[in-house]
Every structure is written in C-alpha cells, then in structure tokens.
Amino acid sequence: MSSGRFLDKSLKYDWLFLGTTFALMTVGVCLVYSATTGEDIPMYDTFWFKQIVYFFGGSLLAAGIVFVKIDWLKNIAFPVYVISLVLLCIVLFLAGDVVKGAGRWIDLGIFKLQPSEFAKIAYLLTISFWLSKHPVSLFKLKTFAVPALLFIVPFALVLKQPDLSTALVFIAVTLVAFFFAGLSLTDLFLVVSPVFSVLLSHSQSLPFQVLWGAFICLVVFAVFRRRLPKALMAAILVVNILSGYASSMAWNMLEPHQQKRVNTFLDPMSDPLGDGYQVLQSITAIGSGGAVGKGFGNGSQTNLAFLPEEHTDFIFSVLGEQFGFFGCTFVLLLFALFLWRATSICKMSSDPFVTLVTMGASTIILFHVVVNIAMTVGLMPVTGLPLPFISYGGSFALTCMVLVGFLVNMRLHGHQ
C-alpha cells in the first residue's frame, strides 16, 4: 500500500487505488464525450460535462465520508435504511419520473434522483451492521429472520418499479454478506438452489429436464454432506422440487419486456429489428473494433446512431469499437486493479463490519461490471445495469463515489 499525506498527517492513503479510480472516471468521461459529440447544444447541457459535474460532486461526497468514524456509520445504518424505503415508496406509489414504462426517478428539478441507487448504499450499511453483530447459520434458521426482512422489503419495492436488474444487485450483496457472516459455499448453494431449479426446469425440452434431474441429485448430495437436521433436509428438497414445477408461474411473474429480453438472449435473430436489435448492434460494434479499434470518435455504429443507449447501457460497445481488444483489456485490468486494492482492505481489520462493507461494496461494483459487459457481448439478457465509472448517469455516478468513500474510510480507520 502506498502512503501519503492529505489533510490528516496520521492517515495513510492507497494512492494506487485512488489513481485507478481516477483513471476509470477519466475513461468514462472520454467515452461519453465520444458517444455524444455530435450534439449541437451548449456545453453545460452535454452529457460529458454533466458527468464531470456528477463525479466532482461525488468526489466531494466521498471525501466527506473518508473522515467519518466507522462507529458513526454503524449508528446511521438503520435510519438511512428507513429513509431509502420511504424514497422507494414515493417512487412506487407516486409514479415518480417514468422512463420506458418504469418509474424509477424523483425529479428534483436540477437533478433526477434514483432512489434504488440510494437504497443499495443504505442496504449495504444495514445488512453489514446487523450481520457483524448476528452471524447466520443453517443450523439456526432464526438467525435468518431479520436479514431476510431487511432484504425482502427493498428488493420487492425495486422489483415492483419494475427494475429486475437492480433488484438482482440486492441478491448478490446478500449472498456475499451471508458468506462472510458464517455460511459456507455449500450453504450458499443450498440457499440459492431453488432459483436454479426454476431456471433449469423452465424448458420442457429433454436436455433441460436431464440437467434439472442432475441438479436435484447434486442438491441431495449437498444436503447429506452438510448433515443438516432431517426436517430442514426435507424442506430444502421439497422447495427445490416445487420450484421446478412452479417455473411457469415464475416466468409469468416477469414483465412482458423482461420476457422478451430473455427470449432475445436465447435467440437474438428471432427479432433482429426489435428486441434483438440492441444485442446485434452491440456485437457488431465490438467486433468491428478489431485489435486496436477505429480510433477515438471514429466509430460508425456509434456516430451513425446504430448503437442504442451508447452513452449509458452500451458504453462498453463504444469502447470496443473505438479502442478494440486492447482498449477493452486495459479497462478490464483497471477494474481488476480496483477490486484487488479494495478487497485487500479485509486483511487489515478484524472488525466484521469493515469486512462486510468492503466485500459488499466490491460486490456491487463487480456485479455491475460482469452483467453490463456480458450483456453487451450477448452472454446475458439486456439489462439496465450501467458500467461503473464509465456509463453516464448522475445517481449511479454518486453511488460509485460513495462506495469509493466507504472503501477509503475502511482502509484508513478499519484497523483502529
């Protein structure tokens, strides 16, 4: 860890982590600029200039968080959590600002607040604080009561917007938190096994049915390996079997546009001018970049507006078209460096709250990176998850910078 002096002479900073963060922010602003450079509007109304403003404001917010005592973060966890639920309810019941059929924003005039982004931060603090005091165990199911309640409320409110992709972030954070709060990998497998039962049994084709049967056998093996109480063993097996038969019900619970995204993922050419258009154009843009790309601002898919949502959801496609394989690799290495320095914080502290916040924040960043990039190359259905520090977006930029503030704070104060 590099050290340096900034305001407080007793504090040591990881300049490699901060430099990597700044590099990602710089890449993001440049790509947003190149994706929207043809707009004939005043500079202060351009996306790239707004992104700079968001990052500047987020940096000030992160700097403030750095000097907050960890005990104070613990004390505000539940109040902030309640505030986030209130904001989610406002969006849900008062419609909020509706974009493409989903009400996710509260229009504040000069800024549109996305409460689900604020809820990620609030949930991270709250679940980390609770689990740091109350570890979980499959042998003591009552230990799951409060964490389950803390999870299901914001998850359901976000899912109702509807915003399935953001709701999945809550699942990822919860699973990682459970692992660092006492569950083994086998335990986590058993916890999420009903979800896989639904996915594998959705298709009635023979290959999928065989896979589901093999998966149930794996669940049986894991249950006996953990030597769980007989009642719990039976419950897990029954839930998995019922989940398999209820897969059609789960499919019908998805919104029509979400069903289309899944179908398009399985076969983009089934609707090349409709729901498959985004994926096909994204793959075309990335593939056309080759090894070194077409150069900054010289992407035909981007400049001719073939690539949809180029400055937000599909910003990675802009990167691939303009800077090619090597440009994409460079950005992925920056993310790897960012996550390496972030997770290294856990080695410096014995406080479980520090570990949970650190791994939770890293999980949020990693989940967005994996899902966004997989979406742009056709490995996952199209979602609305942006690429951290790269995609345009006010609320998400602030979320990323708050997470950076948490991580720097944990490194500076976590050992105390």
Q: pLDDT, tens digit, for every residue of 45-77?
A: 788 899 999 999 999 999 999 989 999 999 999
Q: pLDDT class for 282, splitting at 50, 70, 90?
A: confident
Is the model's pLDDT at 321 over the cut of 50? yes
Specify which of 9-13, 296-300, 305-309 reaches the highest per-range mean pLDDT. 296-300
Distance CA 226, CA 223 (A): 5
**What contacts 401, CB < 8 A, 6 or more positions away?**
55, 58, 59, 61, 62
d(CA 236, CA 161): 30
| pLDDT value, residue 5 | 35
CA distances (Å), origin 341, targets 59, 181, 407: 18, 22, 9
Span of 68-82, 281-295, 365-379 with lowest mean pLDDT? 281-295
Calculate what percentage of the chain has a pLDDT beyond 90. 36
Distance CA 179, CA 407 (A): 19
Q: What's the pLDDT score for residue 355?
A: 93
pLDDT of the residue at 275: 56
For 10, 47, 102, 293, 388, the CA distances from 391, given in Å and listed in that order, are 35, 10, 19, 19, 6
Segment 280-294 shows an average pLDDT of 80
Average pLDDT score over residue span 157-165: 83
CA distances for 2 relative to 5, 328, 341, 347, angstroms: 11, 27, 11, 16
Q: If DSSP codes are grouped into helix, strand and coil, which group holds residue 97? A: strand
| Mean pLDDT score of the chain | 82
The pLDDT, as a whole number, for residue 276 is 60
- For the four alpha carbons of 160, 246, 240 and 198, in that order, the dihedral sign comes to negative
H/E element, 212? helix 206-226
| Residue 210 amino acid letter | V
User: In this predicted structure, what is the pLDDT of residue 106?
Assistant: 76
Strand intervals (E) in 330-380? none
Find the mean pLDDT for residues 218-224. Answer: 89
Q: DSSP states of 57-89 as a string?
A: HHHHHHHHHHTS-HHHHHHHHHHHHHHHHHHHH
- In the chain, % of residues over pLDDT 70: 80
- First-to-last C-alpha distance (Å) of the chain: 17
Lowest mean pLDDT among 3-12, 267-276, 288-297, 339-348: 3-12
The pLDDT, as a whole number, for residue 24 is 96
What local confidence, expressed as pLDDT, does residue 231 receive?
A: 86
Query: How many whole angstroms separate alpha carbon 200 and alpha carbon 221?
Result: 18
pTM recorded for the entire structure: 0.86
- Please state the rounded mean pLDDT for residues 335-348: 92
Give the separation between CA 352 and CA 223, rounded to whole angstroms: 28
Please report the pLDDT score of residue 123 as a whole number. Answer: 96
Q: Is the CB of residue 386 less than 8 Å from the CB of residue 368? A: yes
Cβ proximity of 87 and 113 under 8 Å: yes
Which pLDDT score, from 0 to 100, does residue 6 have?
Answer: 37
Q: Pick from 390, 408, 405, 385: which is nearest to 114 by CA?
A: 385
Give the torsion sign (CA, 11, 123, 312, 88). Answer: negative
Name the pLDDT band for 233 (thresholds 50, 70, 90).
Answer: confident
pLDDT at residue 119 is higher than 80 = yes
Residue type, 59: S
Please report the pLDDT score of residue 9 as a whole number: 45
Average pLDDT over residues 7-16: 65
Rounded CA gap, 47 and 35, in Å?
9
